[in-house]
Amino acid sequence: HGFFEHHKHNEQYYDDHGHHDDHAVGGPSAKQLIGEALRQRVENIDHENCDPGEEDTFFVADLGEVYRQHLRWKLNLPRVKPFYAVKCNPDQKVLQLLSALGTGFDCASKAEIEQVLQMGVDPSRIIYAQPCKTNSYVRYVASHGVRQMTFDNADELRKIARLFPTAELYLRILTDDSSSLCRLSLKFGASLDSTDELLALASELGLNVVGVSFHVGSGASDPLAFLKAVRDAHVVFQQAAAYGFNLKTLDVGGGFCSDNTFEEMAHVLRSALDDYFPAHSGINLIAEPGRFYVSDAFTIACNVIARRTIQDSSANRHGNMGVNDDASYMVYVNDGLYGNFSSIMFDHQHPEAKVLRAGGQTMYDTAAADATTAPNGVEYSIWGPTCDGIDRIMESTRFNVVLDVGDWIYFEEMGAYTKCSATTFNGFSNEHDVIYVCSEPGAKALLDMH
């Protein structure tokens, strides 16, 4: 892949915070492509006469962003092969691009495994990284050549001994996930007190333990969690050797954020790996990043379906009765917590609205689109379309423009744990169009090829 060779030397490609410089590549920038896709779509809707659904929420996905994240991964963690966590966003085009880039895939269910296999991905590029598996799924993977899977308890070992005794097993250990957005160690991971016993049982059952895995929690923020986990994994490698297992692979899981914490996280992890699992040890290193790849690649646009004016009573006392200047508004859009904003509930996110179109003007990526901190900005709360009071996207934000029914707002960084956990509550569809753009010619070439 000549592209990587070329950009390895292109240090200014990311700024100091790891952000991509839109103009480094030439051609239209990512923002221009996304903006044009958003504009065309919303300007082509006849809001007065359209059929139900034509004004539905939609996404614009920039596959170039996924490609750049892969490059960023390679630059920062060159020894670690990523197995993309499909659960995070099983978008078919994202999976196709990642498959073309040569990543592996972390799958957690039969449906995810099937989706990846149907793309022609070799089963050896899949890890069934769910320590508590469904019996029939284990039989399914056994008959489809997917051998790698995780376990963290004795019952699971007995299940695997019965259903797939030749599987390649990773012992998932517990980590300190206290500083992550979504904690996982409450539910999964063997404590270091129990690993010796588990390895003894695996040996007794004649099973094939090939590695250790961990997950520091999704949306991790403490790089030291990686250091501790790598150190613990090293202890388990030695325990396993005492039982005659020759472990070959360490799986460092996911949890990496796409913001500027990634570089620091990767730095700490890289040096821990170099200390405990140096290149000459011959140990393979893999990871299961999800959000890192897709968070920033998806922008969502939502239509304002209703508005409720809240008159400011203090303004009335000052004799401004009837003048709307001091009003604030509740705006209701056609997507919410039960839909693609499920990330607010499940992933503890705080998406920030921007104005896409108001008063007949499209204003993506302009100063007018952004929230304002000026006290004379108009205040809004933003609500989803269902009948539940919990369905609120933003409690308060201010814009310099007045939003009304038919206008559009957008949210960036909506690629991770959004669409995949959307429901159809209240009969609102969770099938939303995705318009694909690609701000990287290299990614485009790969997609055209495959």
Burial of 100 (0-12, 13-18, 19+ CB in 10 A): middle
218 is a contact residue toward ligand PLP (CB under 6 A): yes
133 is a contact residue toward ligand PLP (CB under 6 A): no
Beta bridge partners of 411: 300, 353
Which of the 8 DSSP states describes residue 281?
A: G
256 is a contact residue toward ligand PLP (CB under 6 A): yes
Helix (H, G, I), strand (E, B) or coil at 173: strand
CA dihedral 14, 20, 25, 29 (to 10 degrees): -160
For residue 6, give both structure tokens. Answer: 């070329």
Rank residues 87 and 357 by Cβ distance to ligand PLP and give the closer one. Answer: 87
354 is a contact residue toward ligand PLP (CB under 6 A): no
219 is a contact residue toward ligand PLP (CB under 6 A): yes
290 is a contact residue toward ligand PLP (CB under 6 A): yes
Pick from 301, 281, 219: nearest CA to 41 = 301
302 is a contact residue toward ligand PLP (CB under 6 A): no
Give the contacts of 443 (CB within 8 A, at least 6 positions apart): 63, 64, 66, 67, 97
Of residues 211, 289, 336, 406, which one binds ligand PLP by CB under 6 A? 289
387 is catalytic: yes
The amino acid that residue 388 corresponds to is: D
Sign of the Cα pseudo-torsion (432, 433, 437, 442, in order): positive
Of residues 55, 106, 413, 440, which one binds ligand PLP by CB under 6 A? 106
For residue 380, give both structure tokens. Answer: 């809004």
Pick from 349, 225, 206: nearest CA to 291 = 349
Rank residues 240 and 294 by Cβ distance to ligand PLP and give the closer one. Answer: 294
The Cα 101–Cα 433 span in angstroms is 25
* Residues touching ligand PLP, count (CB under 6 A): 17
Q: In this structure, how many other beta carbons lie within 10 angstroms of the beta carbon of residue 57?
A: 23
**Shortest spacing between CB 418 and ligand PLP, in angstroms:** 12
Rank residues 266 and 304 by Cβ distance to ligand PLP and give the closer one. Answer: 266
Rank residues 294 and 403 by Cβ distance to ligand PLP and give the closer one. Answer: 294
Which residues in 137-176 contact ligand PLP (CB under 6 A)?
none
Rank residues 85 and 202 by Cβ distance to ligand PLP and give the closer one. Answer: 85
The Cα 338–Cα 235 span in angstroms is 43
DSSP states along 88-155: G---HHHHHHHHHHT-EEEE-SHHHHHHHHHTT--GGGEEE--SS--HHHHHHHHHHT--EEEE-SHH
Mask: binding to ligand PLP, 178-207, rule CB under 6 A, as x and -? ------x-----------------------
291 is a contact residue toward ligand PLP (CB under 6 A): yes
Given the rule CB under 6 A, which of 32-40, 199-207, 283-291, 332-340 is the region that contacts ligand PLP?
283-291
Rank residues 289 and 336 by Cβ distance to ligand PLP and give the closer one. Answer: 289
Do the beta carbons of residue 202 and residue 209 sit within 8 Å? Answer: yes
385 is a contact residue toward ligand PLP (CB under 6 A): no
The amino acid that residue 234 corresponds to is: H
**Shortest spacing between CB 254 and ligand PLP, in angstroms:** 3
Beta bridge partners of 58: 301
Rank residues 98 and 369 by Cβ distance to ligand PLP and give the closer one. Answer: 98
Do the beta carbons of residue 380 and residue 397 sit within 8 Å? Answer: yes
Which residues in 71-90 contact ligand PLP (CB under 6 A)?
85, 88
- Token pair 């063997």 is found at 190
Q: Catalytic: which of 182, 387, 420, 438?
A: 387
Given the rule CB under 6 A, which of 271-279, 288-296, 407-415, 420-428 is the region that contacts ligand PLP?
288-296
- Token pair 């139900």 is found at 52
CA angle 273-218-133, nearest 5°?
95
Given the rule CB under 6 A, which of 215-223, 234-242, 270-278, 321-329 is the region that contacts ligand PLP?
215-223
Rank residues 35 and 189 by Cβ distance to ligand PLP and give the closer one. Answer: 189
Of residues 288, 391, 407, 412, which one binds ligand PLP by CB under 6 A? 288
Of residues 110, 133, 215, 357, which one binds ligand PLP by CB under 6 A? 215
**Shortest spacing between CB 189 and ligand PLP, in angstroms:** 10
List the catalytic residues. 387
Query: Which residues in this chain contact ligand PLP in the complex, by CB under 6 A?
Result: 85, 88, 106, 129, 184, 215, 218-219, 253-256, 288-292
